[in-house]
């Protein structure tokens, strides 16, 4: 799991660095050269999806994901564990469905030969962020559920 964590955090760092750099360069280009780089919006949007999924996976790993615990905090420790496991199961199901539809989307993009508007790159390459990001989330939720069943130990 350490390799997965390192991979997630490294990819987030790279994506954020690239996003920040090209957005900054585009702003400078607009003000100095009075010309905008059309491809920057495309790349930034694509990388934003990657950062969202990977950041979500890291948040689950660190138990930093959003949750409304006001009602769960009123329950007994045993019931809290049951509610947490139920949430994990629901989350895994959600991301399995998202992964399945993401794969369908990528196959469709590949079959139709869709390309990005500004760069003309194959759309399916960038569409892979949905199923791959979903897999990262599934792994992290399963890990969370496993740790919860073991008694909250990591």
**Residue 91 structure tokens:** 């989350």
- Per the structure block, which two tokens stand in for 21? 């750099």
Tell me the C-alpha distance between 137 and 49, whole Å.
13
Task: Give per-residue pLDDT as tens, 5-60.
Answer: 899 999 999 999 999 999 999 999 999 999 988 889 899 999 999 999 999 999 99
Cα–Cα dist 137/97, whole Å: 12
Q: How far is CA 122 from CA 48, 63, 109, 119, 135, in A?
A: 18, 36, 8, 9, 22
Question: For residue range 54-68, what is the model confidence (pLDDT) as tens digits?
Answer: 999 999 988 887 666
The DSSP 8-state label assigned to residue 150 in this structure reads T
3-state secondary structure of 112: helix
pLDDT of residue 99: 98
Contacts within 8 Å (CB) and 24+ apart, 103-108: 103/131, 105/130, 106/130, 106/131
* pLDDT given for residue 151 in this prediction: 78
Please tell me the distance from the alpha carbon of residue 117 to that of residue 105, in angstroms, as a whole number.
17
Q: Given this model, what pLDDT does residue 88 score?
A: 93
Entry pTM: 0.86
How many helices and strands in the chain, by DSSP H and E?
5, 0
DSSP category for residue 115: B
* Residues 142, 92 contacting (CB under 8 angstroms): yes
Confidence at residue 68, expressed as pLDDT on a 0 to 100 scale: 66
Mean pLDDT of 125-141: 95
The whole-number pLDDT of residue 1 equals 75
pLDDT digits over 71-121, tens only? 778 888 889 888 889 999 999 999 999 999 999 999 999 999 999 988 899
């Amino acid at each position: 799991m350490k390799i997965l964590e390192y991979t997630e955090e490294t990819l987030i760092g790279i994506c954020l660095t690239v996003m920040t750099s090209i957005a900054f360069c585009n702003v400078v280009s607009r003000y100095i050269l009075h010309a905008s780089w059309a491809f920057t919006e495309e790349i930034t949007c694509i990388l934003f999806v990657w950062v969202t999924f990977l950041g979500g996976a890291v948040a689950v790993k660190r138990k930093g994901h959003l949750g409304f615990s006001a009602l769960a905090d009123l329950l007994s420790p045993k019931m809290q564990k049951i509610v947490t496991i139920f949430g994990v199961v629901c989350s895994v199901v959600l991301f399995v469905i998202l992964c399945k539809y993401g794969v369908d989307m990528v196959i469709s993009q590949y079959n139709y030969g869709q390309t990005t508007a500004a760069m003309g790159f194959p759309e399916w390459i960038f569409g892979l962020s949905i199923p791959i990001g979903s897999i990262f989330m599934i792994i992290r939720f399963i890990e969370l559920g496993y740790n919860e069943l073991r008694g909250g130990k990591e």
